[in-house]
Amino acid sequence: MEKEQMPLVSIVVPVYHVGAYIRQCVDSILGQTYQNIQLILVDDGGDDECPDICNQYALQDARVRVIHQENKGLSGARNSGMEAVTGSYVMFVDSDDWIDLETIDTALRFSEENDLDVVLWSYASEYHDKTILRPLFGEEPVIWEDGRTIHRRIVGLIGSELSEPHKADACVTAWGKLYRRGVVENVRFVDTKRIGTEDALFNIYALKNGHRVGYLPETFSHYRKTNETSLTSGFKAELAYRWETLYQMIEDYLNDISAEPEFYSALNNRVCLSMIGIGLNELSNPAGFFTKSKNLRNVLRLPRWETAYRDLCMKYFPLKWKAFFYLCKHKQTELLLLMLYAINGLRSILAS
């Protein structure tokens, strides 16, 4: 791009207790081949070396701004960063992750050349000694003229998409996207302590106006799966009930926009697939086997899950997931728990 045509890109990075990883993250941003950036580091009240590291970067590079605040969690840190954004485009990067050096240049060119409001791209899960590529869609770029397909896809999977239930949340992250500022400037993240996970609702709200969305198949984002001090790690005792609040907020939103029936089907399927995450979370519960089983059964007895499983079509699921969701539907939680231990064992092998 010609210099006079180079828009400023603001990147918001929430920082909390990531001393072992923050430099790799920040260096991957400041080293971008596209240099007209504003990096906003939000120190979320950590008591480790991260506040000093952030200050050092600000002294070394005028493109860096540091915000120090009392701990507000991931959502609060991102929202504080949003208040400081001055660029024409906005990105989010988590402080224990990193991006390829050509990420912004490639995504921005794709956006400018095709008049896109949002660009998303594939990512890689990074374990101790291996990298697993996570393509979101195919191997070619895609453009959705009104963004409706992606909007519904963020709500949940439908039809043949259910053949890959592990991709239920592949598109919902705030990271891995380049937004025009106008798309997100009036949208804020809802506190994780209230809804369990903030990214899906943020993107549902942000993409409500039928924006043009483009997809790049390149694996630009690197999602670290080995950080035990991550803002998203650890057992969450109230996870299912927070997600219940999230689903109600999504349903209220769908009612407000008079959404098509497929959006409600997508939401119901999201509720059903949530038992994967709820179950894996329950494995971290220090309670005994039968208490864990009882907790899962209590979730499956909630009206929202009862309704969702009543309407779930399982014909697209691979065999192992048909078995998993059959156990959920019939509340066979002891067997379900054993299956979850097997799934978790495979995850542990990947992380070793």
**pLDDT value of residue 208:** 82
**pLDDT value of residue 9:** 98
Span 53-107, pLDDT tens digits: 999 999 999 999 999 999 999 999 999 999 999 999 999 999 999 999 999 999 9
| Rounded Cα distance, 151 and 173, in Å | 13
Structure tokens at 17: 């207790």
Closest Cα partner for 350 from 110, 124, 72? 124
Q: What CA dihedral angle connects 40, 45, 46 and 47, to 10 degrees?
A: 130
| Secondary element (H or E) of residue 202 | helix 199-206
**pLDDT value of residue 146:** 87
Residues 6+ apart with CB under 8 A from 53: 19, 22, 23, 26
Closest Cα partner for 275 from 147, 165, 177? 165
Sequence ranges of the domains in the chain? 3-224, 239-351
Residues 6+ apart with CB under 8 A from 3: none
pLDDT over 80 at 211, yes or no: yes
**pLDDT value of residue 234:** 75
Average pLDDT of the residues in 314-324? 95
| Rounded Cα distance, 195 and 274, in Å | 13
The pLDDT mean for the chain works out to: 93
pLDDT over 70 at 4, yes or no: no
Average pLDDT of the residues in 183-203? 92
Span 95-126, pLDDT tens digits: 999 999 999 999 999 999 999 999 999 999 99
Multiple choice CATH, 3-224, 3.30.930.10, 3.40.50.12280, 3.40.50.720, 3.90.550.10? 3.90.550.10
Closest Cα partner for 219 from 173, 176, 165? 176
| Rounded Cα distance, 197 and 189, in Å | 9
Span 280-294, pLDDT tens digits: 999 999 999 999 999
**pLDDT value of residue 230:** 45
**pLDDT value of residue 28:** 98
Average pLDDT of the residues in 205-226? 91
DSSP state string for 176-193? SEEEEHHHHTT--PPPHH
Closest Cα partner for 97 from 185, 225, 186? 225
**pLDDT value of residue 229:** 47
pLDDT over 80 at 52, yes or no: yes
- Specify whether the CB–CB gap between 126 and 94 falls below 8 A: no
Beta bridge partners of 222: 98, 124
pLDDT-based confidence at residue 31 (cuts at 50, 70, 90): very high
| Rounded Cα distance, 43 and 77, in Å | 8
**pLDDT value of residue 351:** 54
